Structure 1
């Protein structure tokens, strides 16, 4: 089923010949960055050479990171606290399992070795012991899940509290939300970046104001229905800024590596520009949004192995930004030390996003 935007394009006579004469944009345009290919090992090594991160390793081979900020250090402390709780509870579970198994075996072997005890009695002793052991295991499993869930919830809260304090500048005001809050799917769909979305999973949906403008951000993953299972359309940070709108929709896509997930709403859009690093689509007077300041702000973004790609749209609903990120940022560490570099990368990217918002704001003030 096609999106509403595609239907609107079909209703515009001037667009129909172009669709017949040209291949679909997805086939014609290279949506992946044309940067010089860098081997992953070299890219990671360069990434780890930044001053904020140490790559020394302990005796177990785990990296020993140095944290340049108290917030980053506190994230690792929260992770370490959770990990210790989990290991302790898991050890107790294995001890109970081992002791229980030994009791079950003993309840059969010992009576069988004693002469004069009826076989039926031995069976009843064994069955009774097994029932008691299973009840104990079931009870502890329930307690285990409850305590681990509580510890994980505390860790996730601490993680996002410290991350937000580190990443967002003072100009981001009134940041409100929790790790359990969800991004409404209709808000994601308003962006017109992706279509055929059947599921939007999210967490840490937060609202704030930036220079008086209402805004929101959330970690989210969007999926569509595939042939056999759901297929991923987007994973990363999704933002919306109100007050920056346009009747003529603009879509800018900053190309990434081969793991990038380009927008799937490009077919039928009018191509304005295509370069090695980005592609721009727009209708009507959308090009007028691309002022010198906006272009300078866009040029500051640089996709890499963590910040995979970025798509933004400006339409009648607002400014939407979908920042694609790799698992090293989106997946919270549990059993391995917290690597601060992806979070530092995200902080830099958010600063560039706010700079871009400022650039768009100047455009609207000049109207």
Structure 2
């Protein structure tokens, strides 16, 4: 009974928050952020107190948080057919065949979103990738957001593009069959020896990719391009990747991801066109 009452109150406050943020006035937006922050803080306190008594409620809380965050991230009107199934996962085999990381032992995924942007399909997910170290211990080689987008390109092999920040992490490790064709301060490209990456990727794509700022909560971006498939791995700090249980909600990491994802979906959709 108590959890139902809490849920009703929270839903009402979240609806109010997003109504305020949808208004054009700056005062409304700040008021919306304030209501959202207070609501999430109240939920955090409630579930910290009750999470041991109500483990199922904790799962509901995590699912509820993802639903509310997703309604903000995917609010652009060109997003359509957005679907989230809480039990949906990204298969480890899908990540292994991208061949960005070697010796993948397991993956963990959550908040898997399937939908379209401007009529083009995509999959988005929280993702952690683990590799086996010394045949004893699994070590994370990637933690962040994952995007999978079809393309109309035809060529053999793969191209890996890395857009790195000042302290890059989660860099590609499966590179033995590729050549380092570009090695700049911000941009690294690996491609097969017999493939003209410039023709496939294009100068316009690289120019627009470099406009994305690797700062704040975004650590770096790895993009792998295969014939028919593009995958984007965005490494983020814990401020975005951790569900807010004991810390106050901070909207800045989520806002940055929202902008980054939209930039990359638009950019990748232009490949092969």
Query: TM exceeds 0.5?
Result: yes
User: What is the aligned partner in structure 2 of residue 269 from structure 1?
Assistant: 178
Answering whether residue 99 of structure 2 is matched by residue 192 of structure 1, we say: yes
User: Of the candidates 213, 227, 230, which is equivalent to residue 138 of structure 2?
Assistant: 230
User: Of the candidates 21, 39, 52, which is equivalent to residue 77 of structure 1?
Assistant: 39
- Equivalenced residues, count: 242
Q: Secondary structure at the match of 1:276?
A: coil
Distance 1:253 1:225, change over 3 A: same
**Cα pair 1:255 1:310 within 8 Å, conserved:** yes
- TM (norm. structure 1) is 0.61
Q: CA deviation at 1:75?
A: 6.3
The structure with the largest helix share of the pair is 1
User: Of the candidates 67, 73, 81, which is equivalent to residue 161 of structure 1?
Assistant: 67
Q: Deviations over 1:200-242 (max 9, x none)?
A: 0111112111233221011010101112421111000111101
Q: Secondary structure at the match of 1:251?
A: strand
**Cα pair 1:239 1:322 within 8 Å, conserved:** yes
Unmatched tracts of structure 1, length 5 or more: 1-51, 53-65, 90-143
Distance 1:309 1:69, change over 3 A: farther
Cα distance in 1 between the residues matched to 2:90 and 2:33: 25
Cα distance in 2 between the residues matched to 1:159 and 1:301: 27
Unmatched tracts of structure 2, length 5 or more: 1-20, 22-27
Cα distance in 1 between the residues matched to 2:87 and 2:260: 24
Q: Secondary structure at the match of 1:246?
A: coil
- Matches for 1:112-261 after TM superposition, within 5 Å: 145=52, 147=54, 149-168=55-74, 169-227=76-134, 228-248=136-156, 249-258=158-167, 260-261=169-170
Distance 1:211 1:357, change over 3 A: same
**Cα pair 1:200 1:223 within 8 Å, conserved:** yes
**Cα pair 1:82 1:151 within 8 Å, conserved:** no
Cα distance in 1 between the residues matched to 2:118 and 2:34: 27
Structure with greater Cα Rg: 1
Q: CA deviation at 1:322?
A: 0.5
Cα distance in 2 between the residues matched to 1:76 and 1:349: 26
Cα distance in 2 between the residues matched to 1:200 and 1:306: 22
Answering whether residue 226 of structure 2 is matched by residue 319 of structure 1, we say: no
RMSD, matched Cα: 2.4
User: What is the aligned partner in structure 2 of residue 86 from structure 1?
Assistant: 48
Distance 1:155 1:69, change over 3 A: farther
**Cα pair 1:194 1:233 within 8 Å, conserved:** yes
